[in-house]
Amino acid sequence: MTDRRTIDLDHHSQEYADSYHQVADELRGSGCPVAWSEHHGGFWVTPGHADVARVARDDDYFTQDHERREDGGGLGQGVQRPPGPVRTLPIESHSPFTQFIRQLCGPAFSPAGAKQFEPRFLEMVTECLDAVIETGRVDFSEDLAAITTVRATMELIGLPADRLPLYAKVSHESSYLAPGQPGFDEAMAGIGEIQSDVIGLVSERKKNPGEGGLIDRLLVGDVRGRQLSEDEVVGVLMSLILGGGDTTATLTLQTLRWLHHNPEHRARLLTDDAYFATATEEFLRVFTPNVQIFRVATQDTELSGQPVRRGESVMMWWAAANRDPAVFADPYEVRLDRREANRHLSFGNGTHRCLGQHIARMEFRTMVREVLRRMPDYQIDESAVDRYHTVKTIDGLMHLPAVFTPGSREGGRPAAAAAAAAAVA
Amino acid sequence: MPHVSVDLDVCEDHAQCVFAAPTVFRMNDDDRLEYDAEYDEDLRFDVQAAADSCPVQAIKLLD
Ligand code: HEM
Ligand code: SF4
């Protein structure tokens, strides 16, 4: 342990939330970018794009498995530090099992699947915007993004709509509440509640297969004779329910906030599809909703010359990698036509690259464009913007209130959206 | 130049590869995969990432 540079970095602290980009830049500038933090069992921190991409991709040296296996390869503690209470799939698994689950999840997650789902998602957005359009006031978080994103995942899975208020609330709160904060214990209990609800639904659907949503596909589908157990199906559904919400919401909210300060970009984003697509990758890069995720080394190796021993954890610092000046010229500048932006790591890299990326882009585009179209003069109330206090995974916004010139409804049933908004609030 | 091949009978058009190595793989207007069998040596890392991320493991690097 002689030649290791240590750093006092705790991703659960408020200090980290306030300064992580600065910390990353300091490390980068120090000539010795890879440092060791003693927090949460200890882990390496590395801000470089090449290192982060390699850790994400090098399944021979790093694992995200959650199980400690008999064969000695099982050092896995999952992707959270400290390790999460349940094993989430497919993230906390290894190939070929990972690929098996990804294949079972199937065409809903392809660009064609996302496109097919778009009209239905637009209805959900319409319903949310209709609920507030006549008032001239909106909280883009609670009234829109925190609800539609979870609702969409629930429909893709085939979960009953009456659960939306609970699921939306828990998904949102468990993303930003840290241990010790008011509401944290309730949010964790809420995850337990959702999990037992999902366990119940899964065993019921195993007996009486339903309409053929993802839940049924996962239960009955097989790939080369292998099927998922009920527990494994629960693991996949939990990660979809909790993983597809605040990530996509964050991208949307941070972008709407940026467009408040940079309104000159609104018009072109509304009308130019190709420009919107390129800009999406730049928003993903600069706002990197998922700031960091962990792996553990399964063999001795090195990162930028720094020895890393078997069994040691490594933080994959997506947000820092996305501002690596070796890959992105003027990384702090938001350039909506940036070409090399597609090398961002916001959706990860390698085997576990985000399965929901096409759905996320579709949801993001639909929400941003509907807001720009129906509330073209919206103004954010910056004094009431509320950031997550800590960045345990996601760097998001709890509240993003805005005012706009009232408009008229365009259909939909505002009642359901209003009920869900009341639960999240 | 190295080569890559995609088994189009296996490919389900998930387009994971398209974002991993956008200059080699792309989706056409019908959301079906198209790709260049020959690619630049510099892109080996990206093409390997594309092969890794493919849910059905349809991509083979050939050299
Ligand atoms: C902007 C929004 C999103 C961001 C930034 C994001 C980010 C990520 C990242 C960084 C990973 C890789 C994790 C790792 O390597 O350990 C990942 C994996 C995953 N994401 Fe997303 N995600 C987003 C939206 C979604 C949505 C909407 C869904 C589902 C509806 C989803 C489902 C998944 C799943 C299932 C995985 C695991 C894939 C695997 O392990 O093979 N994500 N996501
Ligand atoms: S990732 Fe695989 S399945 Fe998807 S388009 Fe590429 S080759 Fe086809």
Distance from the A10 Cα atom to the nearest Cα atom in chain B, whole angstroms: 30
Cα angle A43-B46-A274, degrees, rounded to a multiple of 5: 110
pLDDT grade, residue A75 (50/70/90)? Answer: low
* pLDDT tens sequence across A276-288: 999 999 999 999 9
Q: Which domain holds residue A277?
A: 14-424
HEC assignment per residue over chain A: CCCCCECCCCCCCHHHHHHHHHHHHHHHHCCCCCEEECHHHCEEEECCHHHHHHHHHCCCCEECCCCCCCCCCCCCCCCCCCCCCCCCCCCCCCCCHHHHHHHHHHHHHCHHHHHHHHHHHHHHHHHHHHHHHCCCEEEHHHHHHHHHHHHHHHHHHCCCHHHHHHHHHHHHHHHHCCCCCCCHHHHHHHHHHHHHHHHHHHHHHHHCCCCCCHHHHHHHCCECCECCCHHHHHHHHHHHHHHCCHHHHHHHHHHHHHHHHCHHHHHHHHHCHHHHHHHHHHHHHHHCCECCEEEEECCCEEECCEEECCCCEEEECHHHHCCCCCCCCCCCCCCCCCCHHHHCCCCCCHHHCCCCHHHHHHHHHHHHHHHHHHCCCCEECHHHCEECCCCCCECCEEECEEECCCCCCCCCCHHHHHHHHHHHC
Per-residue pLDDT at A299 exceeds 80: yes
Per-residue pLDDT at A194 exceeds 80: yes
Chain B positions touching A284 (Cβ under 8 A) are: none
Q: Whose CA is nearest to atom 2 of ligand 2?
A: B54
Distance from the A93 Cα atom to the nearest Cα atom in chain B, whole angstroms: 14
In a domain, A1, yes or no: no
Q: Judge if the beta carbon of residue B24 lies within 6 A of ligand 2.
A: no
ipTM beyond cut 0.85: no
In a domain, A7, yes or no: no
How far is residue A328 from each of residues A285, A286, A338, measured CA to CA in Å? 10, 11, 9
Residue type, B4: V
pLDDT of residue A217: 87
How far is residue A261 from each of residues A18, A258, A381, B35, measured CA to CA in Å? 20, 5, 11, 40
- CATH number where A221 lies: 1.10.630.10
- Does residue A356 contact residue A243 with C-beta atoms inside 8 Å? yes
Closest CA to A358 of A27, A96, A131, A121: A121
Closest CA to A378 of A250, A261, A282: A261
CB contact under 8 A, B56 and A107: no
pLDDT of residue A56: 92
- Report CA(B15)–ligand 2 centroid distance (Å): 5
CB contact under 8 A, B27 and A102: no
In a domain, A8, yes or no: no
Least confident segment among A131-140, A327-336, A414-423? A414-423
Residues 62-81 of A with CB under 8 A from B: none
Per-residue pLDDT at A70 exceeds 90: no
Q: Indicate the class that CATH gives domain B3-62.
A: alpha beta
Which atom of ligand 2 is found nearest the CA of B13? 5
Which atom of ligand 1 is found nearest the CA of A98? 41
Residue A116 in contact with partner chain B when CB distance is under 8 A: no
Range A18-25 average pLDDT? 95
Give the Cβ contact number of residue B10 at 10 Å: 12
In a domain, A252, yes or no: yes
Under DSSP, the state recorded for B2 is -
In a domain, A128, yes or no: yes
Q: Judge if the beta carbon of residue B48 lies within 6 A of ligand 2.
A: no
Q: Is the peptide bond before A376 cis (omega within 30 degrees of 0)?
A: no
Tokens 């933090």 correspond to what residue? A37
Task: Write down the domain spans for chain B.
Answer: 3-62
Considering every ligand atom, which ligand is closest to the CA of A246?
1
B7, B10, B19, best to mutate vs chain A, most A CBs in 10 Å:
B19
φ, ψ of residue A36 in degrees (nearest 5): -110, 130
Least confident segment among A165-174, A386-395, A416-425, B12-21? A416-425
Residue A358 in contact with partner chain B when CB distance is under 8 A: yes
* pLDDT tens sequence across A106-143: 788 888 899 999 999 999 999 999 999 999 999 999 99
Chain B positions contacting chain A at CB under 8 Å are 12-16, 19-20, 22, 27, 31, 45, 48-49, 52-57
CB contact under 8 A, B49 and A342: no
pLDDT grade, residue A425 (50/70/90)? Answer: low
Distance from the A350 Cα atom to the nearest Cα atom in chain B, whole angstroms: 5
Chain B positions touching A112 (Cβ under 8 A) are: 13, 31
CB contact under 8 A, B31 and A357: no
Range A289-314 average pLDDT? 94
Q: Whose CA is nearest to atom 4 of ligand 2?
A: B14
Token reading at A109: 């997650």
CB contact under 8 A, B12 and A106: yes
- Does residue A238 contact residue A195 with C-beta atoms inside 8 Å? yes
Distance from the B5 Cα atom to the nearest Cα atom in chain A, whole angstroms: 18
pLDDT of residue A73: 46
Per-residue pLDDT at A71 exceeds 60: no
pLDDT of residue A415: 59
Over the range A299-320, which residues count as b (16 or more CB within 10 Å of their CB) and which as e? eebebeebebeeebbbbbbbbb
CB contact under 8 A, A111 and B57: no
pLDDT of residue A401: 98
CB contact under 8 A, A103 and B31: no
Region of residue A69 (phi > 0: left; psi between -120 and 50: alpha; otherwise: beta): beta
HEC assignment per residue over B4-31: EEECCCCCCCCCHHHHHCCCCEEECCCC
pLDDT of residue A389: 86
Residue type, A344: H
Token reading at A84: 């999460």
Under DSSP, the state recorded for B3 is B
- Closest alpha carbon within chain A to B47: A350
Cβ-nearest to A349 among B12, B14, B49:
B49
- What percentage of chain A carries pLDDT values higher than 90? 61
